[in-house]
Amino acid sequence: MFTAFVWFTPYAMELSKSGMTATHPVRRTITAILMVAVAVGVALGLAEGMIRLFLPAFDPSGRFEFRHRIGSLSLGQPHSEQRQVKNTGDYDVAVSINRHGLRDTKDIARATVDDLIVVGDSVAWGWGVEASDRFSDRLQSMTGQRVFNLATPTDLAGYEALLAYAESLGARVGQVVVAVSLETDLGSYDAVAERAEDQTQPTDWKQWLTERSAAYLLLTTMVHQTPGLKALAVRTGAIVPNLEGIARNSYAAETIAASAGKLRALSTRYRLLVVLVPSRALWVGGNRAVEDRIHIALAVALAERGVAVLDLRPLFEAGGAPLGFHFANDGHWNARGHRLAAEAIARCLTGGAEACR
């Protein structure tokens, strides 16, 4: 046994030495990776801090988000002053939110039956335009009637929830203008298990970085506003062109009937004017015939149910460039679109049924 031990010991020591030697490169590699990771982290942290300090316009903490929850609705943070910025350069506007989470200088709790209340999604909310350029604010100056804006990204069930929210605050609701988006508002609206749908998008990694990183905002702004970089990003799929991201509807008679029925139910409780906001898919993409059929079917279904309707589609198409009323890199209306809508709604409200045609 002793002989075996004497024979084996030098061999074991040699194995041990060779094993230690073999592990050293692994340890060095791991150490190097950790050092690089730490260095990158420190560099990114410094870059983030420097950008926030010297380029505060890219500080995400000052950018608007819908984060205030009222039931199933997402509203703005009460008593906040922020900005809404598009990294493509389409808009950079101030957003002021009142104590109720609404983008309105007026207090909805003070609304009376003689006032006008505008309900809708992000279009009616005024996405990308100054509050004074929204059709609700323009409508007030055109009609001389006090107009309250009761809008947030949601759907038809959400519009009902918004009106209920206003009434819970003490508002007395009379005339209501509902802006119905043909891109996003149609649904089954089950009367048995109905709920307001939160239309804010689930958070993905891009949104997460947008909400937290000044460096990411600066980088994406540079890419979007540099033609060569933007073209490369589009080719690699990092950017989806605006007009390729339009929601595509499928025709279903049940969906048309359910949506029209939902609006009909609202019209029995309030003096209702439904304003049809046409889908951009009517004018671009391969789904135009289907979108046309849906648009016409909803207008007919509402008329058959006795709901007052103002269809903006003919007005948008009259000049031959309907997309000119939208931002170049965003699906929402620009100031021209809001002005056109305000003029049409004002004529409809003051001129009777014929003026709505």
Sign of CA dihedral 310, 163, 75, 129: positive
Q: Give the lowest-confidence range in 58-67, 144-153, 227-236, 343-352.
A: 227-236
Q: For residues 284 and 83, what is the distance between their CA atoms, to the nearest angstrom?
A: 31
Question: For residue 190, what pLDDT is reported?
Answer: 67
Does 342 or 190 have the greater pLDDT score? 342
Looking at residue 234, its pLDDT comes to 66
Query: 308 is written with which tokens?
Result: 């007052």
Q: How confident is the model at residue 192 (pLDDT cuts 50, 70, 90)?
A: very low
Residues 195, 290 contacting (CB under 8 angstroms): no
- pTM exceeding 0.85: no
CA distances from 125 to 40, 179, 297, 350 (A): 41, 10, 26, 23
Residue 309 pLDDT: 97
- Residue partners of 92: CB distance under 8 A and separation at least 6: 57, 83, 84, 85, 86
pLDDT average, residue stretch 41-46: 84
Backbone torsions φ then ψ of 330, nearest 5 degrees: -155, 140
| pLDDT tens-digit map of 315-344 | 999 999 999 999 999 999 999 999 999 999
Among residues of the chain, what percentage have pLDDT more than 70?
A: 89
Query: What is residue 282's predicted lDDT score, i.e. its pLDDT?
Result: 97
d(CA 301, CA 259): 9
Q: Which residues contact residue 42 at a Cβ distance below 8 angstroms, ignoring those fewer than 6 apart?
A: none
Residue-wise burial string across 229-248, b where 16 or more C-beta atoms lie within 10 A, e elsewhere: bbeebeeeeebeebbeebee
pLDDT digits (tens, 9 = 90+) for 101-137: 999 999 999 999 999 999 999 999 999 999 999 999 9
CB 266 within 8 A of CB 302: no
The answer to whether residue 251 scores a pLDDT higher than 90 is yes
Distance CA(76)–CA(72), nearest Å, equals 13
pLDDT over 90 percentage in the chain: 63
Q: Which pLDDT score is estimated for 326?
A: 98
